[in-house]
Amino acid sequence: MMTYIYLIIEFFKIGLFSVGGGLATLPWLFDLAEKDYGWFTSSQLADMIAISESTPGPMGVNMATYAGYNAGGIFGGIISTLSLALPGIVIIIIIYGFLEKFSDNKYVKGVFYALHPAVGALITLACIQVYKSSFLASEGFGIKPLHFAVFAVIFAVKLIFGKKIHPIAVIAAGAVIGAVISL
Amino acid sequence: MKELLELYFSFFRIGLFTFGGGMAMLPMLTKEIVEDKKWATNEEILNYFAIGQCTPGIIAINTATFIGTKRRGAVGGFVATLGMITPSLIVILVIASVLSKIMHYEIVGHIFVGIRVAVAALVTESLIGILKSGIKDIFGIVFYIVTLTLCLCFDLSPICVVVLGVVVGVTRIKLINKEKRK
């Protein structure tokens, strides 16, 4: 029982204090591994990261479920994830109210006008990170030729057919190609 | 009720086909929310991402809450977010224990590499769409290049980028006002 209460408190804290995306939860999780709860070790956490990256679902949510499961079984996984999500949900609902009220304010409009290119830059960086885990060499500036070729073909096909191909179909195709040509 | 269910299952699908960190949700988000359901525009998604960068919580959850709240108020926000996290709960609880065992098979590794390459292509396509709707004039192009350079060279944190955007945005409006008064 106490484990569950600690899980709720710890993951609520992580949800409240990790600002900016799933990777921001990592330092907190490593912190948890150091504490004497005995829920998981730092090396188990490294395995969790690898699994969270390749399973469906946003990485931060996967990490919470996995860590909670390790600590307190299925119920532990569920309450950890809910506790992680709760602060964000409440804060965004409040912010949305303000956003609605002031959306016509010219300063608010002006701020978002400047934020669009800035966030565009952040998404570009995230895109480069995705390249690093798919076709860029892990060290230096090289590319893996075969991986890049597959990327180029998929991208070209998607550009030509555009909205007619669902993202799910593209992901499935990637899985099949990966298995067939042993990427 | 019908719309709440629709919200839940839309975000369930998005959660199920997000492989990796927050931005990997972008292709599914634009397909489901912007193109199919027309619940939000690319510009609004950029707004939500900007706010999500500097508020607590995971971006994927913040975005789901925003769109849910926009459609059906606070209840919608909760329902959309639950939809987003359900696949993680199911997949991790049911499959992760099996997955950690089958991860050692070579073919499983190849499949995930293939998925990551496909996700890279999808994210690139979404990025182009997002940049097209977010950058409208010479100011946008210049500011995009400046922020990107700052991030690449000085490892600027996302929060700093958003703060910079706010400062530049307010300054720009003040300058425009001054021009008008002259």
Over residues B101-159, the pLDDT tens digits come to 777 788 888 998 899 899 899 989 889 988 998 898 999 999 999 999 999 999 888 88
pLDDT at position B129 is: 87
Nearest to A167 among B28, B65, B81 (CB): B28
What integer is the mean pLDDT of A134-159?
88
Rounded mean pLDDT of chain A? 87
Q: How many whole angstroms separate alpha carbon A159 and alpha carbon A140?
A: 29
pLDDT average, residue stretch A106-130:
89
Same domain, B64 and B99: yes
CA B81 to chain centre: 13
Taking only the tens place, the pLDDT of each residue in A127-139 is 888 888 888 877 7
Q: Are the beta carbons of B127 and A158 separated by less than 8 Å?
A: no
pLDDT greater at residue A166 or residue A48:
A166
Of A175, A160, A139, residue with least CA distance to B119: A175
ipTM of predicted assembly, 2 dp: 0.87
Identify the pLDDT of residue B23. Answer: 77
Sign of the torsion angle spanned by Cα atoms B17, B19, B20, B24 = negative
Give the minimum alpha-carbon distance from B136 to chain A in angstroms, rounded to a whole number. 9
Identify all chain B residues contacting A25, using CB atoms and an 8 Å cutoff.
58
> Are the beta carbons of B19 and A56 separated by less than 8 Å?
yes
Residue numbers of the domain that contains B158: 136-182
Determine the Cα–Cα distance for residues B46 and B52; give it in Å rounded to an integer: 10
In terms of domains, do B92 and B180 share one?
no
Q: Residues B130, B140: one domain?
A: no
Closest CA of chain B from A7, distance in Å: 16
Interchain CB contact of A85 with B (< 8 Å): yes
Taking CA atoms, what residue in B is nearest to A168? B17
Inter-chain CB proximity B20 and A130 less than 8 Å: yes
Band the pLDDT of B96: cuts 50, 70, 90: low
Q: Quickly state the pLDDT bin for A21 (edges 50, 70, 90).
A: low
Whether B58 and A58 have beta carbons less than 8 Å apart is answered as: yes
Whole-number pLDDT of residue A31: 86
**Phi (first) and psi of residue B20, to 5 degrees:** 115, -155
3-state secondary structure of A141: coil
Please indicate, yes or no, whether residues B90 and B106 belong to a single structural domain of this protein: yes
3-state class (DSSP) for residue A143: strand
Q: Which of A125, A131, A128, A103 is nearest to B41 (CA)?
A: A103
- Stretch (H or E) spanning A17: helix A2-17
Residue A162 has a pLDDT of 80
Shared-domain flag, residues B170 and B123: no
Instruction: Kindly report the pTM of this predicted structure.
Output: 0.87
Per-residue pLDDT at A153 exceeds 90: yes
- How high is the pLDDT of residue A37? 85
Give percent of chain A above pLDDT 90: 39
Is the pLDDT higher at A11 or at A139? A11
Residues B114 and B160 in one domain: no
Number of domains into which chain B is organized: 2
Chain B residues 47-76 with CB within 8 Å of chain A: 47, 49-62, 65-66, 69-70, 74
Shared domain for B77 and B126, answered yes or no, is: yes
- How far, rounded to the nearest angstrom, does the alpha carbon of residue B16 sit from its chain's CA centroid? 15
Q: Where are the alpha helices (DSSP H) in chain B?
A: 2-16, 26-29, 42-53, 59-90, 96-102, 106-134, 138-154, 158-181
Q: Which of B46, B114, B122 sits opposite A116 (nearest CB)?
A: B46
Check whether residue B75 and residue B149 sit in a common domain.
Answer: no
Q: What is the DSSP string of A121-138?
A: HHHHHHHHHHHHHHTB-S
* Digit-coded pLDDT (tens) for B39-90: 999 999 999 988 988 888 888 899 999 999 999 999 999 999 999 999 989 9
Residue with tokens 């990025």: B127
Chain B residues inside the 8 Å CB shell of A85: 57-58, 61, 81, 85
Residues B80 and B129 in one domain: yes
Q: B5 in contact with A at a CB cutoff of 8 Å? A: no
Q: Are residues B11 and B96 in the same domain?
A: yes
Q: Which two tokens stand for residue A177?
A: 């190609």
A22–chain B nearest CA distance, Å:
5
Touching B: A residues 26-45, CB under 8 Å: none
